[in-house]
C-alpha cells in the first residue's frame, strides 16, 4: 500500500462501538495511527510495554530505519557525516537541522571554545566525592549542579536556552576529564583554547603540569568519529528520559543530568564497557570464542553475548560497520595490535553464520566495536560510557529544545493497566 492509497483514518472496533482514528505519515514514509482521542472516544488505552510501538513526539532531528540499517541526522546519512564532517559541525546540524555556513560554524566553534572552563567553586564538588565512585555518577552530579551556578536556567526563552546549550556542550568534556583526574588523584587540567574539541578532551584527560602535552592527531580524529556516531539516536532510553524530565518544566541541566543516569545502565550506554569485559574474559579464560557462543545460546548458562542485537535495528547497525573499519584504521595508524579485535571478529563471523543468531537478527551494534577503539586510544574502561555521554550531549540538547518549542508538547504522563486488588475494606491490625 502506497501513501497515495493509504486511508486517512483507521477504524477501531471495540464491542459494538467503532471509532475512526487519524492516520499520519512521516516524511520518510513511517505510518502512525493518532490515538490521542482513543480514551475519550472509546474509553480504552493502549498497552505497549517499553513503548516500542508508541510515537511519543514529532521530530525533525534523527531518522533511523532498523529494518534497513539506516541512520540519518536531519537527512544526512551517518556514513557521509562520519567521512566528511566533524563533531562540532554535527552539533550545529542537530541543533538546527541544517549544516552551518562558514561564518556560523566559526562563531559556534568560538562560543564552544570560550565556555569550556568550570566555575572554580565547582571543583569542591569533585573533591567531596569518593575517588572510587563511578565517573558517570560524578558527571550526573556535576551537570545537575550547574543549575546552582546558572540560576537563570529554566526561564526557557530562546536566548536563555541557547546560552545554556552552549555552556553544556562546552563544559561536559571538562566535567568528564575532572571526574577522571579526581579518580586517579591527579590535578585538574584547565582547557586550552588553541585545541580542537576532541584534542581538548585528550589534553584535559592525559596532560599533567609536569610537562608539555600535545594530542596525537590520529587519536583526536578517531575520538571525533566516535563522538559523531554517538551524537543522537532518536527516542532511545536516555533521550526519552531527557524529554520526559524536560516536559515537567525542569531546566536543561537537570534534564540532561537525568539522561546521563539513564545512559549509565548496562543495557544502554554501559554496554560498550560490558563488551570489553566480555572480550577480556574470553581472552583470559579457558573458553574459545566458539565455546563462548555455544554457551550464549543457552539461557541457563549464565553467559550473555554483549554488543549484539538492538532494540530497533533488525539489520547491521550502520555505526558498527563504520567502527569495524575504524578499528583496523586506528590500530594500524597507531602501530598497535589488539587480540581483543581478533576475538571480536571471530565472534562476529560465528554469529553471522549461525542460524540461532541469524534467525534472531543479532548483528553487532555500535557498542561492539567502540570499546576496542576507546581502549586503543588509551581511554580507561570505566570512562567509556562517559565519552558516550559527551557524544550524545548535542542529541539530548537538540531533543530537549525541540520539545520546548513544540506547541503540542504536554507533560509526559503514561497510563497503566491496573492488575492489583479490587476495592476492599480496611481491617484493624488486631483483626488481620
pLDDT tens digits for range 168-180: 999 999 999 999 9
Please give the Cα distance from 58 to 32 (Å, whole number): 11
Residue 112, φ and ψ in degrees, nearest 5: -65, -45
> According to DSSP H, which parts of 128-250 are helical?
135-149, 158-184, 197-206, 217-230, 237-246
Q: What percentage of the chain exceeds 90 in pLDDT?
A: 74
Residues forming the active site? 310, 367
Q: Give 3's pLDDT tier (boundaries 50, 70, 90).
A: low
Taking the CB of residue 17, how many other CB atoms lie within 10 A of it? 11
pLDDT of 242-271, one tens digit each? 999 999 999 999 999 999 999 998 888 888
Domains and their CATH numbers in the chain: 9-65 (2.20.28.60), 78-220+253-261+383-397 (1.10.580.10)
Please give the Cα distance from 404 to 157 (Å, whole number): 9
> Does residue 130 carry a pLDDT above 90?
yes
> According to DSSP H, which parts of 247-338 are helical?
252-263, 271-284, 289-296, 318-334
**In this structure, are strands 70-73 and 76-77 parallel, antiparallel, or unpaired?**
antiparallel
What average pLDDT is seen over the chain?
93
* DSSP character at residue 211: B
**Which helix or strand (DSSP H or E) is residue 351 part of?**
helix 339-352
Give the position of cell 549484539: 308
In contact, 349 and 343? CB cutoff 8 Å: no
Question: Model-level pTM?
Answer: 0.92
The arrangement of strands across the sheet holding 76-77 comes to 62-65, 70-73, 76-77
pLDDT of 30-84, one tens digit each? 899 999 999 999 889 999 999 988 999 999 999 999 889 899 999 999 999 999 9
Amino acid at each position: 500500500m502506497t501513501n497515495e492509497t493509504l486511508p486517512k483514518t483507521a477504524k477501531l472496533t471495540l464491542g459494538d462501538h467503532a471509532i475512526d482514528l487519524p492516520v499520519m505519515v512521516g516524511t520518510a514514509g513511517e505510518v502512525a495511527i493518532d490515538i490521542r482521542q482513543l480514551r475519550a472516544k472509546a474509553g480504552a488505552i493502549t498497552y505497549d510495554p517499553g513503548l516500542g510501538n508508541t510515537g511519543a513526539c514529532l521530530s525533525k532531528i534523527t531518522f533511523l530505519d532498523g529494518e534497513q540499517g539506516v541512520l540519518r541526522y536531519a537527512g544526512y546519512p551517518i556514513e557521509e557525516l562520519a567521512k566528511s564532517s566533524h563533531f562540532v559541525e554535527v552539533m550545529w546540524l542537530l541543533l538546527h537541522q541544517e549544516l552551518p555556513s562558514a561564518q556560523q560554524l566559526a562563531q559556534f566553534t568560538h562560543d564552544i571554545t570560550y565556555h569550556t572552563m568550570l566555575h572554580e567553586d565547582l571543583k569542591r564538588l569533585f573533591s567531596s566525592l569518593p575517588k572510587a565512585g563511578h565517573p558517570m555518577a560524578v558527571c550526573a552530579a556535576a551537570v545537575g549542579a550547574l543549575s546552582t551556578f546558572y540560576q537563570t536556567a529554566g526561564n526557557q526563552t530562546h536566548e536563555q536556552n541557547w546560552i545554556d546549550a552552549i555552556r553544556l556542550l562546552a563544559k561536559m568534556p571538562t566535567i568528564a576529564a575532572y571526574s577522571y583526574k579526581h579518580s586517579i588523584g591527579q590535578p585538574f587540567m584547565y582547557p586550552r583554547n588553541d585545541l580542537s574539541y576532541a584534542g581538548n578532551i585528550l589534553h584535559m584527560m592525559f596532560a599533567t603540569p609536569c610537562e608539555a602535552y600535545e594530542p596525537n592527531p590520529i587519536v583526536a580524529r578517531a575520538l571525533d568519529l566516535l563522538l559523531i556516531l554517538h551524537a543522537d539516536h532518536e527516542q532511545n532510553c536516555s533521550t526519552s528520559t531527557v524529554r520526559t524530565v524536560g516536559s515537567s518544566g525542569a531546566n536543561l541541566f537537570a534534564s540532561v543530568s537525568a539522561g546521563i543516569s539513564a545512559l549509565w545502565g548496562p543495557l544502554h550506554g554501559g554496554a560498550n564497557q560490558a563488551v570489553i569485559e566480555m572480550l577480556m574474559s574470553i581472552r583470559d579464560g579457558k573458553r574459545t570464542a566458539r565455546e563462548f557462543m555455544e554457551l550464549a545460546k543457552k539461557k541457563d548458562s549464565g553467559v550473555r553475548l554483549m554488543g549484539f542485537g538492538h532494540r530497533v535495528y533488525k539489520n547491521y547497525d550502520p555505526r558498527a560497520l563504520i567502527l569495524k573499519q575504524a578499528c583496523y584504521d586506528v590500530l594500524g595508524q597507531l602501530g598497535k595490535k589488539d587480540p581483543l579485535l581478533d576475538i571480536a571478529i571471530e565472534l562476529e563471523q560465528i554469529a553471522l553464520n549461525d542460524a540461532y543468531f541469524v534467525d534472531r537478527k543479532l548483528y553487532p551494534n555500535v557498542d561492539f566495536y567502540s570499546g576496542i577503539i576507546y581502549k586503543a586510544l588509551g581511554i580507561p574502561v570505566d570512562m567509556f560510557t562517559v565519552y558516550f555521554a559527551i557524544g550524545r550531549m548535542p542529541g539530548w540538547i537538540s531533543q530537549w529544545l525541540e520539545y520546548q518549542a513544540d506547541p503540542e508538547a504536554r507533560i509526559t504522563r503514561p497510563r497503566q493497566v491496573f492488575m492489583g486488588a479490587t476495592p476492599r475494606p480496611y481491617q484493624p491490625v488486631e483483626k488481620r
